[in-house]
Amino acid sequence: MWRISCLFLVLMFGGLVHSGPLTDPHPNITDQDLFWGADQYDFAVVLPAAGLECFWHFAHRGETFYLNFMVQWVTGVGHDRHLSLTVNAPSGLLVSTVDEATGQINFEAKETGFYQMCLSNFHNRFGVMQVFLSFGVYYDGFQDPANRQEEEKKKKEEVSKDLNNTLSVIEASSHKVENYVFHIFRFYSFGRMRKSADFFLLQSNSQYISWWSTALSLLIVTSGYLQLLFLKRLFITKTGTEEEKTRC
């Protein structure tokens, strides 16, 4: 009876231990399966005076990370169009830094994780700026390192068996076209950023010219009126009797 009670307690507590909460919702899926992809984003962000904004994007080791940015407009007193941008690796190391109004950053990811992009408007203590961003990652022919050698052997055997494999040619051609379309999208995004920046610059210059033209017109009219009033006062004559005239 005592042995049966001990066995029951062991089974009960053992079952409670093994039936605890599941900490890993996908124990059989690696980070490669969860995050692998070629994603790109483009949007505009407004930085306040002396403001700082940071964004994160996931990249695997071996992928190509790219970032395009352009300052569209700046408002405030003594504004400066320069933007300070830094990119940090998942380990915290500084990968790249730029201090310009427009620029591009491209590098091959050496680490797997989230890369940090920080935009700083410290040049403008009293000015607000709008920045257009386009960033993402792309890769070409990724394979799992554990299965890379086996797949290479299979490809060599297939090529040796049939050099005129139509499906392989179509697949390679479609993959090249996909890469070309992706790079065309990148250049189109950068051209759109430049076009929007030129539009905001022309709009600000138009407002600047309009205000100064109005101010100068008012200044010319006011100065002309004051000159006419001054000349008119020089020719004012007083009429009076002989008693009011000055005598020698």
- Of 83, 111, 110, 109, nearest in space to 97 by CA: 83
Domains and CATH numbers, the chain: 31-201 (2.60.120.680)
pLDDT at position 9 is: 45
Q: Please, which pLDDT band fits residue 113 given cuts at 50, 70 and 90?
A: very high
The pLDDT of residue 246 is 52
Task: Supply the pLDDT for residue 88.
Answer: 95
Q: Where is pLDDT greater, at 1 or 78?
A: 78
Would you state the pLDDT for residue 44? 92
Q: What is the pLDDT of residues 133-190, one digit of tens each?
A: 999 998 765 555 555 667 777 777 666 666 656 666 777 788 888 888 888 887 888 7
3-state secondary structure of 214: helix
Cα–Cα–Cα angle for 62, 52, 104, nearest 5°? 40
Whole-number Å distance between alpha carbons of 105 and 197? 19
Q: Which two tokens mark 151?
A: 């797949």
pLDDT digits (tens, 9 = 90+) for 184-238: 887 888 777 777 777 888 888 888 888 999 899 999 999 988 888 888 888 766 6
State residue 116's pLDDT score. Answer: 96
The overall average pLDDT reported for the chain is 77
Q: How confident is the model at residue 17 (pLDDT cuts 50, 70, 90)?
A: very low
What value does the mean pLDDT take over residues 87-108? 93
For residue 189, the model assigns a pLDDT of 80
Average pLDDT on 8-19 reads 43
Alpha helices in the chain (DSSP H): 2-18, 31-35, 145-161, 166-234
Is the dihedral angle over the CA atoms 168, 174, 178, 179 positive or is it negative? Answer: positive
pLDDT value at 8 more than 80: no
What per-residue confidence (pLDDT) applies to 100? 92
pLDDT-derived band at 84 (thresholds 50, 70, 90) equals very high
Residue 200, CA distances (Å) to 103, 130, 131, 213 in order? 18, 10, 12, 20
Whole-number pLDDT of residue 195:
78
